[in-house]
Structure 1
Amino acid sequence: MKDLQDAAASGTMGSVLIVDDHPLYSDALAAALRMAFPECQSAKAQSLGAALDLLASGCRPDLVIFDLKLPDVCGISGFQRLREALPDVPVLVVSSLTSAQVVQALMAEGAAGFLPKDAPAPLLREALESIVAGRCYVHPGYLGAAVSEPEEVPFEKAHPKLAELTPQQKRIMKLICAGKPNKQIAYELDLAEATVKAHITALLRRLGVQNRTQAAVLVENSQPATNIGTADADVQAFLSS
């Protein structure tokens, strides 16, 4: 961390590893870094595996800018593997996955900051300056949402069809909305996996939907606007992986 402390004192940024599978976006990030910090050196990787190979070959960045959607990454495990490889290096996540649930999970796992991919260059510089100074940075739009739990509306009051579910089906529906696979639901409720499948078939029929995703969308649309991200398949894949 000494390099970062020196950078904070001098207002400069040393070396950055950009992990993103879109070359044009990586190039744009590198250009923005050079404009903000002319002495900054950038290395690029288009997958987590490529980034880990760079680290194995001796690359030691002062900062990593990390995209969540990579070809060899499944959910939060990719971010966790990077943190294990570089436990003392701050990681700024820049992603199109912008749910407050995702931001909260990332910060809890040790991210140094979060920015949505459509953030303007001045916000990128603001984030980098905060991280170089030893502070965490979260896009202002997520400061409140990322640390608060939304109030859950009881199924009985959310939608007439949801009120028709049995207590066991309601428990299973909540775990579906949390992104849990059938095997995990069976484990948490102490049921056989075949029993869980039977309950899901029955609850889908009662709700008048075709699959788990449509059921989760129905629940999400029945919740207030502050209940962020339940129906986003990408968010659920990230949080449950």
Structure 2
Amino acid sequence: MTRLLIADDHPLFRAALRQAAQESVADCTVMEAADLAGALQTLAADPDIDLVLLDLHMPGSQGLSGLATLRGQHPGVAVLVVSAHDEPRTVRRALDHGAAGFIPKSASPVEIADAIRNVLDCGSWLPPALAQAVASMPADPVDIDLATRLARLTEQQYRVLALLGEGLLNKQIADRLAIQERTVKAHVTAIFEKLGVRNRTQAGVMLRSLDLSESTRL
């Protein structure tokens, strides 16, 4: 039985994705989450999920940060990005960060079903109208390097990194995650080493590069 997770904060669009998935895949179990935290909880509770349909903009996830989190914490799960931001550069960056395909929110039910089937068959999928433009763009070494570094982090280290990006101090992070402050310090040291940065400012800059508003610089 195929298991899918739809992570999108718009109920009507979740319903459309659910219908397309159930009509295109036999014996399909579909779960839903309205934010990144819910998606991560579902994945942690159900490691047999085959595919995540991920909205790039929802609570807890802006730009490519949610995709980077999912790929870092659950590298064995395929991710189809779903977004209204369907510029070729955005699609290219999503692929560079490990997405198996990209579904514009303007896609028809037939296209959504085709995308789901292709990715479940271990393939990839891009909207026909964008495929040529995206294919002409080489993978960006900056995004490839960033994706590689983020993939080195453990699940807890990525949580700590996200809170560092919010400007929280070690004690505040410890309180938020219900862990000891010395444990946070150990995580921060490991994060800096794995990301190749020297301080919180550099780590924050690295996180902000996942914002899609930064796409024009690449």
TM-score (ref. length: structure 1)? 0.56
* Count of aligned pairs between the two proteins: 145
Q: Is it true that 1:97 corresponds to 2:85 in the alignment? A: yes
CA distance in 2 between counterparts of 1:238 and 1:28 reads: 29
Match of 1:106 in 2: 94
Shift of the 138–51 alpha-carbon distance from structure 1 to 2, 3 Å rule, reads same
Check if 1:34 corresponds to 2:22: yes
The aligned residue for residue 236 of structure 1 is 213
Contact kept, 8 Å, 1:16 with 1:43, in 2: the verdict is yes
User: 66, 82, 86: which is aligned to 2:54?
Assistant: 66
Larger Rg: 1
Cα distance change on mapping 1:55 and 1:129 into 2, 3 Å: closer
* TM superposition shift of 1:39: 1.1
Give unmatched runs, 5+ long, in structure 1.
Answer: 1-12, 151-233
Residue aligning to 1:85: 73
In structure 2, stretches of 5+ residues that fail to align are 139-210
Post-superposition Cα deviations, 1:132-166, rounded to whole Å, max 9, x if no partner, equal 2211111111112113359xxxxxxxxxxxxxxxx
Instruction: Tell me which residue corresponds to 1:16.
Output: 4
Contact kept, 8 Å, 2:17 with 2:112, in 1: the verdict is no
Query: In the TM superposition, what is the alpha-carbon distance from 1:49 to its structure 2 partner?
Result: 0.8
Q: Which residue of 2 aligns with 1:128?
A: 116
* Contact 2:7-2:36 at 8 Å conserved across structures: yes
In 1, distance between residues paired with 2:54 and 2:10? Answer: 12
Amino acid at match of 2:120: V
Q: What amino acid does structure 2 have at the position aligned with 1:48?
A: L
Counterpart position of 1:55? 43
What is the rounded CA distance, in whole Å, between the counterparts of 2:113 and 2:11 in structure 1? 20
How much has 1:239 moved relative to structure 2?
Answer: 7.3
1:174 maps to none
Contact 2:64 2:212 in 1 (8 A): no
Q: Kindly provide the CA deviation profile for residues 143-192 of structure 1, in whole angstroms up to 9, marking residues without a partner as x.
A: 12113359xxxxxxxxxxxxxxxxxxxxxxxxxxxxxxxxxxxxxxxxxx
The 2-side partners of 1:133 and 1:37 are apart by 11
Tell me: CA distance 1:59–1:22, structure 2 relative to 1, closer, same or farther (3 Å): farther
SS of the residue corresponding to residue 138 of structure 1 reads coil
Aligned-partner Cα distance in 2 for 1:146–1:43: 30
Distance 1:133 1:56, change over 3 A: closer
Structure 1's 78 and 26: CA in aligned 2 closer, same or farther, altered over 3 A?
same
SS of corresponding position for 2:52 = strand
Change (3 A) 1:50 1:35: same
- Residue 136 of structure 2 corresponds to 148
The letter for the 1-side match of 2:79 is: V
